[in-house]
Chains A and B, each alone.
Chain A
Amino acid sequence: MRLIPDTRIDFVGKRRLLFGITGALALAAIALVVFVGFRFGVDFTGGSRFQIHFDRPVGIEAMRSALAAFGDAGAAIQQDQQGDFIVRMGGNRAESDPEVLHSSLRAHLASTFATDSVAMSGDSVGPQVSKELKSKVLLAVVVGLIGILIYVSFRFDFRFGLSAVLSLLFVTLVALGFVCLTRIEVTITVIAAILTVIGYGVNDSIVVSDRIREDVKKMRKEPFNSIVNKALNETLSRTVITGLSTLMVLVAMLLLGAASIKDFAAVMLVGLFASTYSSIFVVANTVVEWEARLPTKGRR
C-alpha cells in the first residue's frame, strides 16, 4: 500500500510566501503569549488546587456556597463530566500552611454535605518553590536547545544547526500560543507535552537535514535549490506516515483520556502539526535562503 505517490512539489520556489505565513503564525503566537498570557497551574504560581470527588451528586452552586462559607468566595470552581470538582485557591491563602488548608477544607466539605467519603487530591505549592520550578524548566529548555545547536553544527554545519533551532522555536511558540489561546492550565503534564513536541520537532528537522546533506554529496552539479526540493519530496512520504501514526495515538488519548491526558494530547496535536509543517517548510528554506545570500565555496 502506498499513500504518497512520487511528488514534485516546488517547496523551495514558494519560500517567500511560506516565510510570510510562518512569520505571521509565529507573531500571532507571540501576541497570544504576551497579551493573553498563560494560565499557570499551582506548580508555577503557588497556591492550592484540589480535585474533589463526592460519593453522591453535588451541584456546582452548592459547592460555591460551601466554599464561600469556608471563606474562599473567590475560589475558581470547575466541574467535569464525572461530577468531580476542581477548585483553585490563591497563593495568599496557601502561604499560611498548605496542609492545614487541605485538612480544614476536607472537614468543612464533609460536614457541609454530611458525608464521610470525600475523596480529595490536592497540590499546594509555596511561592518560593513555584518560582524555582519556573526558572528550572526555562533553563532546561534553553540548555537543551544550545546542545542541539552544537550537535547539529558538528554533524552537519552551522546553517543546519541554526535552522533546526529556529524551527524548534517556531514549533514551541505555536504550542505555547495554543496553550494561551485555549486557556489550558500550565501544569507539569503540559510542560511534558511541550517537551515531547520539541523532541518531535528535533526529529523532523534532522530527517530533512540529513536527506539534504546526502543529496548534496550525491549531486554536486545540481543547483542547490533543486537538490533541496528533491530531498523534501523524497522525505514527504515518511513525514506523512509518521505524522499519521502519531495522530492516531493522540486522537485516542483526546477522546478517551482523563482530563490531564486530554490537555497533554491537545498540546501535542497542535505541536505535531507545527512540527510537520516546519520540517517541510521552515528548516530547508532557511538553509536555502542562507545559501542564496552566502553561497558555500565551490558552488555558484
Chain B
Amino acid sequence: MKHVRLKFGFMLLLVVLAALALWPSFQLHVQMPAQERALAARRAPDLAAEELRRWEQDSARLYERKAGLYGKRVLSLGLDLVGGMDLLLAIDSSRLTPEEMRRVSELSPVALEVIRNRIDQFGVFEPTIQATSSGRILVQLPGVDREQALRIIKQPAYLTMQLVEDRARAYDALKSIDDFLKRAAAGETAAAPAASAAADSATPETPPETGSLLSFVQSDDRSAELVVRADDIPAVSQLLEQGRTAWPPGFEFKFGYVDPRKPAEFVPVYLLRSLAELEGGKLKRAQPSVYRGQDMGLANTWVVEFELSPDGAAQFARVTSRNTNRRLAIVLDGIVRSAPVIREPIPNGRGEITTGDRRGDQAKELSIVLNSGSLPAPVKVVSERSVSASLGKDSIRRGIVAGLIGALAVLLFMIIYYSIGGVLADFALVLNIFLLLAVLAVFRGTLTLPGLAGIALTIGMAVDANVLVFERIREEVRAGKTNLAAVDTGYARAFVTIFDSNATTVITAIALYFIGAGPIRGFAITLTAGLVINVITAVFFTRWIFDWWLAKFSVKALKV
C-alpha cells in the first residue's frame, strides 16, 4: 500500500483534533455536573461563617469556569434534554395605545432590545433572543426556572434619566460601605469595639484589603468612572447589597451594560441620584442621525436625536441648566446604558447625544433604548415550551441507556458476523460518532431529541455502508478473486452505492434544513454532518486499515 504513514498520520491527526475540539464540551457536560453536585452536597444549612465564605468563593469560581467554558466552542444540550424554556412572543396589539399603533413597526425592535437588556444581565448561559421573519421574537432560555424567566420577560420596560455623581464621591461612598461591612463582620465575630476605631484611622493610601469593595475597583485615570471586572459583578453586587444601609441616603449604585456580543473586560459602576430627573414616558421619540454640528472631531459620526413631550421639555430645561457639565445616566431596567455629559442647557425639548460612533450601530441601539421609554411594547406569549429540568433529565438518561445498549448489540453482532471486518466496522462506527460530536462542538451545535434521531440514522447508514462493503467482498471472494482483488473491487463498487445513498439522504436533509422549523433543523444538521463523515470513515479509513493488514500479515484466508 502506498503512503501508509501519510494515511495513518492523517487519521491520527483527525482523532487528535476531534479530541481537542471535544475537550471543553467534556469538561462542561461530564466534569462540571459532578463538581456541581459535590458543591451542592457541601452546602449544609448549619455551615459556619468561615465555611460558608469558602463555599461561596468556590461556587463563584465554578460559575466563572462554567461561563468561560460556554464562551468556547462547545456542544450545548437542547431544552428538551436539560430543561428550560422556549418562548415565542408577539406584540400584544390589544394593549396598544393609538399613538403606539401609529409606530407599530418600531415596536418589535424595542421589545427585542428590552428583553435582551434584561436577559443579558441575568446570567443565562447560551440564551437565544432573535426576531423571526414573521415579526415575532423567539426567546430560548436553557436551564432557567419558568417563573423566573417569565418575570424577566413580561415586566414592562422602565426607563429613567438620573444624575451621575463624580468618581471621587463614588469612591468615598464605596470606602464607607467597606468600613461598615468590616465593622459589621468584626462585631459579629469578636464584638470588639476597637475594630471600628481601627477602621476609622485607615487612610486612603493603605491598599484595600482583599474581599473589600475597593479591592475590586480598578483605578483607571483615563475613564470618568470607577470600573470593575465584568467577571466580578456578582461578587461586587453581593457586597453592595450587604452594605445597603451604608449607602449615601438618596443615592444608589448601578452597573453599566454588559454586552455579551462584544464582551468587555471592565464595566463601569455609577453612583446615581435615586430621584429620576426625567421618566422615560416623557421622551416622545429618538432616532439615529448623522452629526451636523461644528465640531470637526465629530464629523461623520452618528448622534441620537431625541424629542421630549411639552412638560418633559420644561423639566429637562431646568435639569440641564442647573447641571451643565455633569453626566446624566440613561437607565433601562436598572442598567446604565449610557451616561452622556450635559454640554449645554436644552431649553426646547430637542437635543442630541453624540456617540463618536462611526458605524451607527451604537447610535441605533441607544435610540431603541430611549424609545422604550415611550413605547413599552407589551408582549404576549404565543407559544411556550417549558421542560422541567428533572423530567428532562429522566428521559435523557433512559434514552441514552437504550441507545447504548442497542449500539453495543450492533457492535457485537458486527464482530460475530464479520470477524476481523466487524472489528474494523466497529472502529469506523465509533470514530464516526466521535468525529460527528466534534464537528457539532466546533459549530456550537445544540443536541436535541430530534438531533439524537439524526445521529441514530447516521449510525444506521454507517453500519449499512460497512455491510455493503463486506457483502461485496464476500461475493467477490466466492467468485474466485484473490483477497487483494476482492477487497479492491468490493470497495470500488460499494463506494458508488454508498455515495449515491448518502447523497440522496443529504438532499432530504438540506430540504428539511431550509424549510423546517427549529427542532427539524437539528435533525437535518446532525444528519448531514454525520453522512459526510460516514463516507470518509466507512470508505476510506477502513479501507486503509484493511489494505495495511492484508499486506502486513500476507493473509491467506480472508475472513470477512
Contact = CB atoms under 8 A, between A and B. Distances in A.
A119 B388 contact: yes
B405 to A, nearest CB: 5
B60 to A, nearest CB: 28
Main secondary structure of the interface of B (DSSP, over half): helix
Contacts of A188: 449-450, 519-520
Interface residues of A, number: 79
Residue of A199, A260, A264 with most partner-chain B CB within 10 A: A199
A261 B398 contact: yes
Given A124-B383, A192-B519, A245-B414, A251 B406 contact: yes
Interface in B386-431: 386-388, 390-392, 394-395, 398-399, 401-403, 405-407, 409-410, 413-414, 416-419
A234 interface: yes
A140 B510 CA distance: 9
A115 interface: no
A137 B390 CA distance: 30
B138 to A, nearest CB: 11
Nearest to A84: B391
Contact of B463 (A82, A124, A125, A246): A246
Contacts, number: 226
Interface in B479-512: 493, 496-497, 500-501, 503-505, 507-512
Interface stretch (A25-33, A71-79, A142-150, A174-182): A142-150
A98 interface: yes
Main secondary structure of the interface of A (DSSP, over half): helix
Nearest to B88: A129
A249 B459 contact: yes
A196 interface: yes
Given A98-B381, A189-B449, A119 B405 contact: no
A199 B534 CA distance: 15
B34 interface: no
Interface stretch (A11-19, A56-64, A205-213, A281-289): A205-213
B384 interface: yes
A210 B497 contact: yes
A136 to B, nearest CB: 5
Given A207-B501, A246-B460, A252-B402, A136 B409 contact: no
Interface in B83-101: 83, 87-88
5 contacts: A129-B383, A192-B449, A195-B523, A242-B460, A249-B409
Interface of B: 83, 87-88, 134, 146-147, 150, 154, 380-388, 390-392, 394-395, 398-399, 401-403, 405-407, 409-410, 413-414, 416-419, 449-450, 453-454, 456-457, 459-461, 463-464, 467-468, 471, 474-475, 478, 493, 496-497, 500-501, 503-505, 507-512, 514-517, 519-520, 523, 527
